[in-house]
Chains A and B, each alone.
Chain A
Amino acid sequence: MMIRTVLITATVAIGVTGVMAQSDAISQRKELMKKNSQHTKAVSAMVKGDAPFDAKVVTAAFTQWADTAAQLPKLFPDDSKSGGETRALPKIWTDRKGFDAEIAAFAKAAAARPTDVESLKKAFPAVSKVCGDCHEGYRAAAKK
């Protein structure tokens, strides 16, 4: 009896851990992407001239993007293809090399540290280009 309880508990625990790991990766990458977009919004306003250049905001944004690029490689484990609500396309796993190349391009673009509007106007389009390149083939269209 005791042994059986332990066994069942252990099995359930393993199962739960599995589900948690999977939804963890999904929620983590979603959280990162949400933060990225907030930074993008702020920086984009400066590029368009809708907001004054703010070095602190810009550095925070590029740091956040670089951090995302560093974390992304481990946020798409095999057990995170589905489960939570995710728009990740199966191509991420069938064409891992191509996906990794996009992440590398993101890391490179995010490594810039623009110090004024002029350098920002060069560095930001490089980042936004990678956003589109990767979302083109590896992210599904939104449901609504």
Chain B
Amino acid sequence: MRRILLVLVLLALVGAVAFWFITRPQVIAASALPAHTPNLDNGKVMFYAGGCISCHATPKAEDRTRLGGGMELKSPYGSFYPPNISPHPKDGIGSWNEAQFVTAMVKGTSPDGRHYFPSFPYTSYQKMTLADLRDMFAFIKTLPPVEGRVRDHDMRFPFGMRLALGGWKFLYLDGQRFTPDPNRPAEWNRGAYLVNGPGHCAECHSPRNALGGIVEAKRFAGGPNPEGEGTVPNITQHALKDYSDQDILEILTTGMNPDGDSVGGSMAAVVRNTSQLPQSDRAAMAAYIKSLPPVQ
């Protein structure tokens, strides 16, 4: 009897070690980054495509490039308070190196080796190219440093356990970069990259399962509004079949939909970002969105 117990305890230990090993926070080493000269213009495009401001800007600050963090981001799991990502050396990410930034964006791991919560959409950002990520980092470094750290997240039990996030990543962070479809035109591929990578549109415009993972079969089919009442619209052709490419482009440019109504809620902040992109990039996003097969 005692031997059986001992074996069980040992097995549990092995299991725990294996879980920790498989799901430990992953890191991209500096040696994995080839030589690169940052392109600040491209970094700015990636910054606005990535929508960093929407969550990390200091609430109510007139200057939206002050990335002091602290906005409350409500979710079914509790409230997140996105951190200071301004280039402040102590309170922001000013003392990070490129590898640490790329690791955060692609692996969801902090410089001190902890899992980030997936409210930080690294499941989408992991699709970005290394060059785009490094340009984005270089651009953020040019923004004003903001003093002050934000409060801790306010998570409901048991969602605050960061160790368990390793298991979540095992299920939902596939480590796949964006791969262009050679059978599609360059514009479509650019749009697919912007929408699925930096733009992280699917993070809100898809339903999630009980574990908080995107239901892949219903990607872009909309779902309940994670921040409160109402729904996030379906953006596949099931709902947008009457919208032309031009109509979608107009929404991304001015926030005005073809019915003469403006987008609201979090999408208003998204449009403030997409309106800063080159027209060609918005048009590419529109072309890709227009191509999404209908999903109910």
Contact = CB atoms under 8 A, between A and B. Distances in A.
Interface in A23-40: 36-40
Contacts of A129: 254-255
A44 B256 contact: yes
A94 B233 CA distance: 27
Given A44-B260, A48-B246, A141-B225, A136 B265 contact: yes
B270 to A, nearest CB: 10
B268 interface: yes
A140 B256 contact: no
Contact of A142 (B230, B260, B269): B230
A36 B261 CA distance: 8
Interface string A93-127: 00000000000000000000000000000000100
B76 interface: no
Contacts of A142: 230-231, 233
B268 A132 contact: yes
A41 B250 CA distance: 12
B94 to A, nearest CB: 30
B230 A140 contact: yes
Contacts of A40: 256, 260-261
Contacts of A133: 268
Given A44-B256, A48-B246, A48-B250, A135 B262 contact: yes
Given A140-B229, A142-B233, A41 B258 contact: yes
B232 A41 contact: no
A129 B266 CA distance: 14
Interface residues of B, number: 24
A128 interface: yes
A131 B255 contact: yes
A144 B232 CA distance: 8
B271 interface: yes
A132 B264 contact: yes
A143 interface: yes
A44 B250 contact: yes
Contacts of B271: 132
Interface residues of A, number: 24
A38 B263 CA distance: 15
Given A48-B250, A132-B268, A140 B228 contact: yes
B259 interface: yes
A144 B233 CA distance: 7
Contacts of A48: 246, 250
A141 B230 contact: yes
A141 B255 contact: no
A141 B228 contact: yes
A39 B260 contact: yes
Nearest to A138: B264
Contacts of B266: 136
Contacts of B263: 132, 135
B260 A38 contact: yes
Contact of A135 (B228, B246, B268): B268
Contacts of B230: 87, 140-143
Given A44-B256, A128-B256, A132-B271, A37 B231 contact: no
Interface of B: 225, 228-233, 246, 250, 254-256, 258-266, 268-269, 271
The 8 closest A-B pairs by CB, nearest first: A141-B230, A135-B264, A41-B260, A136-B268, A40-B260, A37-B260, A131-B262, A132-B268
18 contacts: A38-B260, A41-B259, A44-B260, A48-B250, A128-B255, A128-B256, A128-B262, A132-B255, A132-B264, A135-B264, A136-B265, A140-B230, A140-B265, A141-B229, A141-B264, A141-B265, A142-B231, A142-B233
Interface of A: 36-42, 44, 48, 87, 125, 128-129, 131-133, 135-136, 139-144
